[in-house]
Structure 1
């Protein structure tokens, strides 16, 4: 039977992988390229202002390793994009499944 320590390590690895996949999914879906609600390409700073997230946070999301992205950040991006959380997570699940493992 696995030890409590190995369970914690596995959960850390899974969480890191989920965050990486979430960030990569957001980057591919919404940041390639950055655009406003009219579909016009805008700068990262303009996008940042529009959704109320710092430009440095957007840079962290764009990093291929991702980062520990808060739910409020995902919500802010979806709200700016006029995209429901239900649709967002449904598409994420279709792409990555429901049992992400290292």
Structure 2
């Protein structure tokens, strides 16, 4: 019984981390989508440039977030010419290393 409770707690924590990470990425890059020259573009244009579906961008922008794969984060960072290391450092600076429940 304790193992099930631990797994449930871990799943809840993981969902919270994903929510915060999605919101962080959305605030940083997706609330106003831009091309590499800094001009505002539509979400559909942005999703084509990044190599993701528009629905994936919508899920990232939703307040609930979703279980975001690292490949999605990489595609966005590659387009934005932004280091994964810097992105995760900024995320850690904002939320800490131990996100509470």
TM-score range, shorter chain: over 0.9
Correspondence 1:45 to 2:44: yes
Partner residue in 1 for 2:77: 78
Per-residue deviation, 1:57: 0.5
The CA distance in 2 between the partners of 1:61 and 1:42, in whole Å, is 17
Runs of 4+ in 1 over 2 A off after TM superposition: none
Partner residue in 2 for 1:61: 60
The CA distance in 2 between the partners of 1:54 and 1:39, in whole Å, is 21
Partner residue in 2 for 1:14: 13
Per-residue deviation, 1:101: 2.1
Listed as ranges, the gaps of 5+ residues in structure 2 are none
Partner residue in 1 for 2:88: 89
The CA distance in 1 between the partners of 2:73 and 2:56, in whole Å, is 11
Q: TM-score, normalised by structure 2?
A: 0.97
Per-residue deviation, 1:27: 0.7
Q: Quick check: 2:19–2:63 contact (8 Å CA) kept in 1?
A: yes
Q: For residues 18-41 of structure 1, what are the alpha-carbon distances to aligned partners after superposition, in whole Å with 9 as ceiling and x for unaligned?
A: 000010001100012101111110
How many residue pairs match? The answer is 101
Listed as ranges, the gaps of 5+ residues in structure 1 are none
